[in-house]
A and B are shown apart, each in its own frame.
Chain A
């Protein structure tokens, strides 16, 4: 199942921050993680992934660092910052409120009700 682009756009930063709050990751690893954790329901387009990472980085919500692996390959690892953690908490709380209000509107037909 694929989400409408606009619908996903607002949630994508929260998803990225949430995944990253569990450990630092490089770009490809992150896109894989999102797909796996969401059972392939959420897929971040490759073209969206890096601009989104750079956006979060410019807001200082995450920070990227180059590291050279034993194989000699250089990878840019991203980790969540304390500012990012605060934002994550706020966004999660807002999402919870959103779900509550959606539940009230849709009633039992809203999947999130269960």
Chain B
């Protein structure tokens, strides 16, 4: 029976992978049947390697001790077989030994998982506690800070704002047909429309007057509400002031009507007022106000020649408009003071204050301290959160980078995707993703479009004045510069060079390469700032 068992053990063992737990040298003092039996027990155990090794060593030791006094190999073999018979079934002993020796692997894994989870939860609680304990110290009113920035030490009597407010209060909305009409020339109105227009025009008399009075002031700035609990509230309450756009729309129609009636004095005053308002709005305050300012200046520039074929401006008036356009020509179109006020206020509200300019992050600070989830997790579990000083430094470097980028021309950004962020920041909930758009390609292009429009329009006005004085058009833009009609040669940011001027018979063309960065021949019928074609300043596209 024992022989049969030994034989079976031997047969089963042929399938055992010897690399597992046993080295042949461990069994050198044992008869084959004992070695095979032990190996079979170990194979049947199917438990942890270390446990199997322990049991194997113990069984080898047991057999060696039991066979120690045997005089020869035959005796050893016989005694070994007796021992094997005494041990019994290999699987049974393997199960019994292993069950008592260690917990099943899945139980161990479960316990370890529970322990690890517990440790992680505890770690998260400990790590999160500082974020919910403590409160911010509000020491700076950033609405006041921004008010000081836009006021720039100027006296309140210089501000056009009260007059513009009055103009808004006295504003009468355009009749619906006027809002929807395709033409921009009152000469195209029918008799009934002209009658209604005159009524509307007269009703806006006080609004127009107030706007004129405001335009006589040298500056315009908004006063931000300092009573809101944070800058977010301040910016929201500021939005209602943007209704000034409606004044602009009304002034445009007034200017057209005055031109139609050959009242160039009045029309010129209004154009200059529009350009001035736009110029005063950008370069200060919040970004949204500045964008509105850019739009207003662009409208002011646009209305000069929108009916160019029908209007013959006196040279003197062209000069006055040109002079206004040349005002503050090198002033930055966009400043980020309003955004900074918002962000500094956000930092103030989302960090503690240690009294020395530093502090630790609170829950609210998460969106500005991190750019993405990976960074957040790394800081949470490994390096710790950035403090107030580090976050301020990061925000300031972002603004510095943004401001630098405004000098990059569209052609230099040609290959950059339109919505490429300044640096890789994920979208919500990270607030920096919003701030990231400050100096993206789109915003940079808007500022360059305005600058190019200005340069093109200044040069056009100068060329027309040159023609009125000399009876001919200049041969080149340099000639215009040399004879003092312009202060500098107009710059085309879409080719990084001089704007394209061509004298053609008794006319001329002036254009920028525009969005496709190539010379399309200056076709004025396409319209300005399309993706194809050039931005043509002259001749003017007739509506």
Contacts and interface: CB of A to CB of B under 8 A. Distances in A.
Partners in one complex: yes
B157 interface: no
A27 B61 CA distance: 9
B59 A26 contact: no
A38 interface: no
B11 interface: no
B101 A47 contact: no
Interface in A27-70: 27-29, 45-47, 50-51, 54-55, 57-58, 66
A96 B55 CA distance: 35
A74 interface: yes
Contacts of B65: 26, 28-29
Contacts of A58: 100-101
B92 A47 contact: yes
Interface stretch (B80-88, B185-193, B293-301): B80-88
Contact of B59 (A50, A57, A73, A74): A50
A45 B88 contact: yes
B101 A76 contact: no
Nearest to A52: B100
B87 A76 contact: no
Contacts of B61: 26-28, 73-76
A66 B54 CA distance: 9
A47 B90 CA distance: 9
B100 A54 contact: yes
Given A27-B58, A28-B61, A76-B58, A46 B101 contact: no
Contact of B101 (A27, A54, A74): A54
B303 interface: no
Contact of A45 (B86, B97, B99): B86
22 contacts: A27-B58, A27-B61, A28-B61, A28-B62, A28-B65, A46-B62, A46-B88, A47-B86, A47-B87, A47-B88, A47-B92, A50-B55, A50-B62, A50-B96, A51-B93, A51-B97, A51-B99, A57-B101, A66-B54, A73-B64, A74-B61, A76-B54
B66 interface: yes
Interface of A: 26-29, 45-47, 50-51, 54-55, 57-58, 66, 73-76
Report, nearest first, the 5 A-B pairs whose CB atoms are least far apart: A54-B100, A51-B96, A47-B88, A28-B65, A55-B100
B92 to A, nearest CB: 7
B58 A46 contact: no
B57 interface: yes
Contacts of A66: 54, 57
Contacts of B99: 51
Given A50-B93, A54-B97, 13 more contacts: A26-B61, A27-B58, A45-B86, A46-B86, A46-B88, A47-B93, A47-B96, A51-B97, A51-B99, A54-B96, A75-B61, A76-B58, A76-B61
Nearest to B98: A54
Interface string B55-82: 1011101101110000000000000000
B27 to A, nearest CB: 13
Nearest to A43: B86
A74 B64 CA distance: 11
Given A50-B93, A51-B93, A51-B97, A74 B57 contact: yes
A46 B57 contact: no
A10 to B, nearest CB: 17
A55 B100 CA distance: 5
Given A47-B87, A54-B101, A27 B64 contact: no
A76 B57 contact: yes
Contacts of A73: 61, 64
Contacts of A27: 58, 61-62
A50 B88 CA distance: 12
A104 B92 CA distance: 39
A71 to B, nearest CB: 10
Nearest to B65: A28
Contact of B100 (A28, A51, A74, A76): A51
Interface string B25-67: 0000000000000000000000000000011011101101110
- Most A CB within 10 A of own CB, among B54, B62, B89, B96: B62
A46 B100 contact: no
Interface in B306-348: none
A73 B61 CA distance: 8
A55 B99 CA distance: 8
Contacts of A50: 55, 58-59, 62, 93, 96-97
A113 to B, nearest CB: 33
A73 B65 CA distance: 11
B93 to A, nearest CB: 5
A102 B83 CA distance: 35
Contacts of B64: 73
A63 to B, nearest CB: 13
Contacts of A28: 61-62, 65-66
A75 B64 CA distance: 11
Contacts of B55: 50
A14 to B, nearest CB: 17
A90 to B, nearest CB: 21
B486 to A, nearest CB: 97
Nearest to B83: A46
Interface in B99-137: 99-101
Interface string B336-364: 00000000000000000000000000000
